[in-house]
Structure 1
Amino acid sequence: MDGPSLMGTVSLDRKCKHFVACTGQGFELFDLERVSALKQFASNERIHLSVPKHTSFTEGDSKVVGGTDRGCADIYNVNTGKLVQRLKYNSGGLIQSVATCETVEHFLVAMASSNERQTSNIILWHKTVWDNVRYFDFWKCIYQLPVFPTSSPASAKYFDQARQSLLFVQPTMTITRVTRMKSQKPSPPPLTSTPQGIVQAPTATHTPLLAADLDTSPNIGGECLEEWWGEAEDEVQVILVKEEAKNYGNDNNQEESIN
């Protein structure tokens, strides 16, 4: 049958009419019934490695997100086929694994870096449903979790727990706080709700991020409509908190909120 010659994870839309797949030449949209190509999502970037990369629908099936071999995940408009934003991981490497989900208030994208020479990281991005209604076409990075890949069973369990807690974020975890850290102490672990089937994120040291590591500007199709981290010049830490979470600030950390 006709279809892509090389495929990663195939993503099916909610109406079960179309699917998108990595074909080795980029990502393509296919008609499910006829298995015929309808549209190609092209980034105009040379493909370095012809390996399968994950892809998934998001934003109510109006966008497609796909991994790359250039240290970023690309988001495409399904109707136009055009690239609308790159979710960057400045340490480079492959971004082969991506996953999406939706809550009442947010669209979420999780992507994982892949590099044998350095620690792998899971990066979580979000976009509010209201921003989507207002056609604010950009996503924001809200969390980065380091993953230390080893062959030990304990490491595999840690990665599995981290992956589950990241990909199934509950609507109660919709508030983000960005603070300027004047000390080098790590932030407390994220608070997670724990209903049935949800695994609490394991306790770990969360690496402080630099503002330069959180490039959230669309860089395609116009300027960014808002600055996410304000005028931050020092290290910034991104923390997921509940609406009524305790204040973790103390005299030692001397946290100063960024408006």
Structure 2
Amino acid sequence: MKLLMIEDNKSVSEMMSMFFKKENWEVHYAYDGLEALEKFKESPQSWDMITLDLNLPGMDGIQVNNEIRSISTTVPIIILTARDSESDQVLGLEMGADDYVVKPFSPITLIARIKALHRRAGLGGSAEKEEETESSFDVVTEHFKLNTKTREAYLLNKPIEDLTPKEFDLLKTLSQKPRQVFSRDQLLQLVWHYEFYGDERTVDAHIKKLRQKIEKVGPQVIQTVWGVGYKFDDSEANAR
């Protein structure tokens, strides 16, 4: 794995470097926002993972996140923040980050988060694209289809573009069981695959961005069930 750690506290970077070395990962470090963007832009497609501190000199972490997402919608991003305000964390998720870890954190916990997100993003396998036949899709409903190997989703035969890893995983989880209602807590467990010490608004932030991308190609198929959670229903998608 090739990882970019954007962190202004060098003691944190030095601590994590020992754990990264044990994993045999190739890790590069940036200590301010501008340096981070320069490193990322050198080879945007080569990075497998980014950890991003929000409180950075030179350029705020949210701005860095936005710049990276304007270049790549697929590279997984984990926010690291010591900020007490959960609104900063939710804002980062709404801007396209995939996860967040609050400081102080256990190095083992961060390593586990990175591995889980890397695995879910499907970056460990082949990037070769299979021929798009109906049999190559893992989820097929009346108006929707999804391929987990190519990480592609289509509504009314139009691609839902620029999905981040977590947005894709949410869409997959919901669409696999059409019209089944999932609580926010269930989605945290099913999509994040570990005990999540966060706010259920994390799910809401990802759903909001996912809906915006779906609406670019067709009617909304992610529905809110008030007081319970969310469900996928494309049964009336052709009514638009």
TM normalised by structure 2 equals 0.32
Q: Structure 1 or 2: larger helix share?
A: 2
Taking CA–CA contacts closer than 8 Å with sequence separation of 6 or more, which of the two structures ends up with the larger relative contact order? 2
The structure richer in strand per residue is: 1
